[in-house]
Amino acid sequence: MWAANAATVSASSSCVDGRVHFTIANLSSSLHRSIEPAQTLRLFRTIFADDGFVVHRPLPSGVPMRDEGAANHMRLTDSTGTRGVDIFVYGSFEKNAVNGHRFFPRQGLEASHAIAKMHGLDPHKTFFLRQHPEAIDAGAFHNDVVGTSHKQVWLHHEKAYIDAAEIIATIENRFYEVTGEQLIRYEIPEATLSLSDAIKCYLFNGQLLSRDHDSSMTLLCPEQVNETPSAMQAVASILNHGGPITKCEFVELRESMNNGGGPACLRLRVPMSSSQWHCVPTSVKWSEAVADRLCDVIERYYPETLTIDELHDVEFIKVVQTATEAIERVLGLTSQWQSSGSSGAS
């Protein structure tokens, strides 16, 4: 499962109790994905076991409560990443919104409202935008395929949202009230980059990255953006905008893209204070040594190919279990699994 579909995260500065809140995505729109949340819940309650975190169970299944996690949530903040507003993006399940369309929405408004309430978000700083049915029909099941954000920057396609002009204007005004800074919004017109090209190349499924003490941002895109003339025209307009996005880099992710995943599919940002960061187990934090040990597990256990027959082969299942146990040992998680069920529960 993509990390961006694992959970929705709210920063402690946005939550009424001053703790970081997670709601594990139920992924109920897809049978094969809906088996993941139980394992994800266990993992998150192990890593974020300190009292400074609250890990909520997945929402109950059912069409109105469909929830696909951070891929349909954005947090816009000031340049320090502290004060800001939250935006949830949802699809409409009304008959007139889905009849005659190719795809059914994957994120419910009711689910988004439930998460905002559980996390204790301020209604004055929380907004809900409806996905454009044309975007869903084109294959943008998640907002992060047609829109993304980082700090005070919001990048999205013209047809990412429907009936949204008034709400977006309110968001811009509210953002200034809350942060004292201007929201910087890049809206890419359909005439420059069509929805079909945007979804083919995954421009908006890129990562907006910045460094501490540096106001500039880099847009990290899949190589397909570099191969799509209309997308490169959009990139040029972004870089010539004069805003914080000053650089674009490309990465080769063809195998991931063939399975529907660009750079943003790995994005699960967890904003936290330095004290909260120190409460996260050292064993799960990236280091050269941890990376080397994980690479060793991959080299030893991951197959170069996978066939249908292997999926019901007992010996292959044993290899998968062995690989999982090896990863747990590298990350220091094995001994904590049994005791992780009650931490931060709700």
Question: With 50 as the cut, is the pLDDT of residue 343 above it?
Answer: no
- Under DSSP, is residue 219 helix (H, G, I), strand (E, B) or coil? strand
Query: Which of 103-112, 287-296, 322-331, 336-345 shows the lowest per-residue confidence on average (mean pLDDT)?
Result: 336-345
What is the predicted pLDDT for the residue at 99? 66
Indicate whether 294 pLDDT > 70.
Answer: yes
- Whole-Å CA distances, 307 to 206, 253, 281, 313: 31, 22, 37, 10
Among 20-29, 206-215, 300-309, 310-319, the least confident range: 206-215
Domain definitions of the chain by residue range? 3-196+268-278, 282-339
77-108 residue pLDDT tens: 999 889 999 999 999 887 666 666 778 889 99
User: Can you give the pTM of this predicted structure?
Assistant: 0.92
Q: Give the count of alpha carbons within 13 A of 36, CB side only.
A: 22
Task: Give the pLDDT confidence of 122-165 residue by residue, as tens digits.
Answer: 999 999 999 999 999 998 989 999 999 999 999 999 999 999 99
Amino acid at position 277, single letter: W
> pLDDT value at position 96?
64
Q: What is the band of 339 on the pLDDT scale with cuts at 50, 70, 90?
A: very low
Strand-by-strand arrangement of the 217-222 sheet: 207-210, 217-222, 245-251
Which of the residues are catalytic? Answer: 68, 142, 265
- pLDDT at position 335 is 53
Position 277 scores a pLDDT of 96
30-44, 207-221, 324-338: range with lowest mean pLDDT: 324-338
List, in sequence order, every residue forming a beta bridge with 155; answer none if it has no partner: 148, 186
For 110-179, give the DSSP string. Answer: HHHHHHHHHTTB-GGGEEEEEBPHHHHHTT--SGGGTEEEETTEEEEETTSBSS-HHHHHHHHHHHHHHH
Handedness of CA 244, 187, 190, 266 (dihedral sign): positive
Residue 318 is predicted with a pLDDT of: 92
Superfamily of domain covering 3-196+268-278: Succinylarginine dihydrolase (3.75.10.20)
pLDDT surpassing 80 at residue 304: yes
